[in-house]
């Protein structure tokens, strides 16, 4: 009962803060919450069963590696906001600039494909979490739910656009963050109780680590993906605001992820034989009875709003790529059709890795854009450090694309 009270109290307190008029009006917060919500939306939930199965007690260091790699890639995105965006729309001055702009255009094609995958990914997760909350595990039913939602979004986008559905995003984001705050509070209480009774210990059932474990870890980049959304908020926020708030969002997400795994690893043994993609729902029931319901509601809301946001982003990219020959209205049915094909052509674990590889390819091209601009700018402060940083990010992303494998691969 105490744990339930703590969870609900923290959740309500966080919700009051997140939905307060002052918070909602804050430009900095609005610019922070978009990438923050994308980073810790779905990945936060699916990472526990995936890492528990693959690396066991090493889950916290493994997550630290993913967070560090995301920071490395994020540095390239932030560099491009400051140094590449001003070049867009201008005639290239030299060969290096021409290369950078060509790569930038290529990255938009890659990102459009990544959005196709991510829309399917989010809605398949929605189906899995919704069914898990009802005590059902049925991958085919989860895909059917995703298909119905995709068909609805495609038809709604064709007929009326998705403007009315987009409005729920700011509410779902606040709800999801408040649920996560309550979850962290519940986990703190549970770990403190175990420590006080002398029962706290790691499960100790770590599977043998090897090349396959590393490949699976590479295939989980999607769980820390989402920071790139700051790159495409130029119509709403200036470059310096986006750079500052993207950095803040990544730092907050890193702190949340690391705290989450520091508090969750000792509970891995409670997963038992349930290592499905939505196994976290059952696990948190051991922390507080209210958490499975709260987590299910938060997960469904966040996955739906994320799928809508990526559908809108993809439609805009397709319209630009097609030089306005494809309208936004007609882009939505296309997105729905491709996402349905991806949904039924993969299982959920392969879909996680495919989404990771799709975004890794986008990050790879963005890192190459940053490399080309930094190489051309002889007067860039700390130029050598920048070049090494971007080369490291590109190498990591290339590794994800080439070597990432599904958790059940």
| Residues 50-95 pLDDT 10s | 888 888 889 999 999 999 999 999 999 999 999 988 887 666 665 5
Q: Is residue 186 over pLDDT 60?
A: yes
Among 95-99, 139-143, 327-331, whose mean pLDDT is lowest?
95-99
Tell me how far apart the alpha carbons of residues 70 and 88 are, in angstroms, rounded to a whole number: 25
For 191-206, what is each residue's pLDDT tens digit?
A: 998 899 888 888 877 7
What confidence tier does 402 reach under pLDDT thresholds 50, 70, 90? very high
Q: Tell me the three-class secondary structure of the chain, residue by residue.
A: CHHHHHHHHHHHHHHHHHCCHHHHHCHHHHHHHHHHHHHHCCHHHHHHHHHHHHHHHHHHHHHHHHHHHHHHHHHHHHHHHHHCHHHCCCCCCCHHHHHHHHHHHHHHHHHHHHHHHHHHHHHHHHHHHHHHHCCCCCHHHHHHHHHHHHHHHHHHHHHCCCHHHHCCHHHHHHHHHHHHHHHHHHHHHHHHHHHHHCCCCCCCCCCCCCHHHHHHHHCCHHHHCCHHHHHHCCCCCCHHHHHHHHHHHHHHHHHHHHHHHHHHHHHHHHHCCCCCCCCHHHHHCCCCCCHHHHHHHHHHHHHHHHHHHHHHHHHHHHHHHCCCCCCHHHHHHHHHHHHHHHHHHCCHHHHHHHHHHHHHHHHHHHHHHHHHHHHHCCCCCCHHHHHHHHHHHHHHHHHHHHHCCCCCC
Most confident of 230-244, 306-320, 338-352: 338-352
Q: Is residue 409 over pLDDT 50?
A: no
What confidence tier does 164 reach under pLDDT thresholds 50, 70, 90? low
Tell me how far apart the alpha carbons of residues 43 and 109 are, in angstroms, rounded to a whole number: 24
For 361-374, what is each residue's pLDDT tens digit?
A: 999 999 999 998 89
Most confident of 6-20, 164-178, 263-277, 313-327: 6-20
Whole-number average pLDDT of the chain: 87
Give pLDDT, residue 273.
Answer: 75
Give pLDDT, residue 95.
Answer: 59
Give pLDDT, residue 177.
Answer: 87
The token pair that represents 295 in the structure block: 């987590």
What confidence tier does 42 reach under pLDDT thresholds 50, 70, 90? low
The token pair that represents 261 in the structure block: 């795994």
Q: Is residue 165 over pLDDT 80?
A: no
Q: pTM for the complete prediction? A: 0.90
Among 16-20, 82-86, 298-302, whose mean pLDDT is lowest?
298-302
What domains appear along the chain, each with residue ranges and CATH number?
2-403 (1.20.1740.10)
Give pLDDT, residue 368.
Answer: 94
Mean pLDDT calculated for residue range 395-407: 92
How many Cβ atoms are within 10 Å of 255's Cβ, its own excluded?
Answer: 11
Mean pLDDT calculated for residue range 141-164: 88
Mean pLDDT calculated for residue range 147-167: 83
For 211-244, what is each residue's pLDDT tens digit?
A: 888 898 999 888 888 888 888 888 788 999 999 9
Please tell me which residue, 291 or 317, carries the higher pLDDT value: 291
Give pLDDT, residue 86.
Answer: 86
Give pLDDT, residue 166.
Answer: 64
Q: Is residue 318 over pLDDT 80?
A: yes
Contact 91, 346 (CB under 8 A): no
Q: Which of 400, 36, 62 is nearest to 264 (CA)?
A: 62
């Amino acid at each position: 009962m105490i744990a339930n009270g703590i969870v609900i109290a923290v959740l309500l307190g966080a919700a009051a803060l997140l939905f307060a008029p002052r918070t909602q009006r804050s430009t900095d917060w609005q610019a922070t919450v978009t990438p923050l919500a994308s980073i810790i939306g779905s990945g936060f939930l699916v990472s526990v069963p995936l890492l528990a199965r693959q690396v066991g007690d090493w889950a916290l260091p493994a997550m630290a590696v993913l967070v560090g790699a995301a920071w490395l890639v994020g540095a390239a995105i932030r560099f491009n906001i400051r140094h590449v965006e001003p070049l867009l729309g201008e005639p290239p001055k030299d060969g290096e600039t021409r290369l950078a702009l060509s790569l930038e255009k290529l990255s938009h094609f890659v990102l459009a494909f990544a959005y196709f995958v991510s829309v399917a990914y989010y809605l398949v997760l929605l189906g899995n979490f919704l069914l898990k909350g009802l005590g059902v595990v049925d991958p085919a039913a989860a895909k059917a739910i995703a298909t119905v939602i995709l068909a609805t979004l495609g038809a709604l986008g064709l007929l009326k656009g998705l403007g009315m559905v987009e409005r729920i995003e700011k509410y779902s984001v606040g709800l999801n963050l408040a649920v996560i705050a309550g979850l962290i509070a519940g986990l703190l209480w549970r770990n403190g109780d175990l420590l006080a009774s002398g029962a706290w210990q790691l499960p100790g059932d770590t599977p043998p680590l090897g090349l396959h474990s590393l490949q699976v870890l590479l295939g989980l980049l999607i769980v820390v993906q989402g920071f790139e959304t700051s790159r495409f908020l130029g119509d709403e926020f200036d470059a310096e605001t986006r750079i500052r708030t993207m950095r803040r969002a990544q730092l907050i997400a890193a702190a949340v992820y690391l705290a989450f795994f520091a508090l969750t690893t000792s509970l891995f043994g409670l997963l038992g034989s349930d290592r499905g993609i939505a196994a976290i729902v059952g696990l948190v029931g051991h922390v507080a009875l209210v958490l499975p319901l709260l987590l299910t509601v938060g997960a469904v809301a966040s996955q739906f709003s994320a799928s809508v946001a990526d559908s809108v982003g993809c439609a805009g990219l397709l319209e630009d790529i097609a030089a306005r020959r494809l309208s936004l209205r007609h882009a939505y049915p296309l997105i729905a059709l491709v996402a349905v094909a991806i949904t039924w052509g993969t299982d959920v674990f392969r879909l996680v890795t495919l989404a990771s590889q799709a975004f890794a390819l986008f990050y790879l091209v963005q890192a190459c854009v940053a490399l080309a601009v930094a190489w051309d700018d002889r007067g860039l402060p700390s130029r050598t450090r920048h070049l090494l940083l971007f080369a490291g990010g590109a190498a990591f992303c290339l590794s994800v694309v080439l070597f990432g494998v599904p958790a059940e691969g």
